[in-house]
Amino acid sequence: MKKITLLLSALLLSILSFGQNSELYGTWYLTAMTVDLGPSTFVSDYSPPIIPSMTILPSLEFSGEAACNTYGGAFGYDAVEDVLSLDSFNRTQLSCDFSDHTNFENEFFTYFDGPLQVFYTPFSGELVLEFFPGYELIFQDTPLSVEDVLKPKFTIYPNPVSDKLLVSMTDGATLRNVSVVSITGQTMFSLTNPENEINVSSLSSGLYFLEVASEGWKTIQKFSKK
């Protein structure tokens, strides 16, 4: 009986590991938050600087630091839909010393109002957790640096888009490399030194990420193709 129990446990663990993307596990550092396909809120805009993080274990337990509070909990996994669920969540209740940090945590912790299904997309050293359609936490696998704080921001429009996606950069920055990535992490196409107008007419209807990279930095934003 003991051998059967161990065998079933091993089988369940193998099914869980097979369905999930192993790139999900590890420590991730928050870079941006999105709300319903609107402009992203960038962590680098908060002052004094903060480095919010989340560590996800193979057991799908997670823990992390926000601005002045810590948090933790556990995800579940739906092998049929290949999505996570938010099974539990808890956080500390400290008062932050800075209003900017309080504002950040007020926004950040609302993403964990559950129970919810969580769609996850790890790719290219980045992780996107979508708690509602269009409501996402965007992480990278390295901590924010001075370059991240200073790197240009970009906006895309129209969103949703039919044919041509326009990219507007701050600080007069120039686009160097652009990739369009599907919601499952597949690179649809890449461009080098493109104009600020990206032709997406060949894409099927759905949700995609635009990954913009230049000298020493990269960032992503989600868009919808009609």
Q: pLDDT tens digits, residue range 32-48?
A: 998 876 678 889 888 88
Closest CA to 225 of 210, 209, 203: 203
Q: pLDDT tens digits, residue range 133-166?
A: 888 999 999 887 655 555 566 778 888 899 999 8
Distance, CA of 204 to CA of 125 (rounded, Å)? 25
Domain boundaries, the chain: 1-150, 151-226
**pLDDT of 97 over the 60 cut:** yes
Whole-number pLDDT of residue 167: 84
Structure tokens that stand for 48 in this block: 């004094």
- Over residues 73-84, the mean pLDDT reads 91
**Is there a shared CATH topology between the 1-150 domain and the 151-226 domain?**
no
Beta pairing, strands 154-157 & 41-42 = unpaired
What fold characterizes domain 1-150?
Lipocalin (2.40.128)
Q: What are phi and psi of 80, to 5 degrees?
A: -75, -50
Q: pLDDT tens digits, residue range 210-221?
A: 888 766 667 778
The listed CATH number (3.40.50.2300, 3.40.50.720, 2.60.40.1930, 3.90.550.10) that belongs to domain 151-226 = 2.60.40.1930
- Over residues 98-124, the mean pLDDT reads 91
Q: What is the pTM of this model?
A: 0.72
| Integer angstrom CA distances of residue 111 from 26, 104, 117, 174 | 20, 12, 11, 33
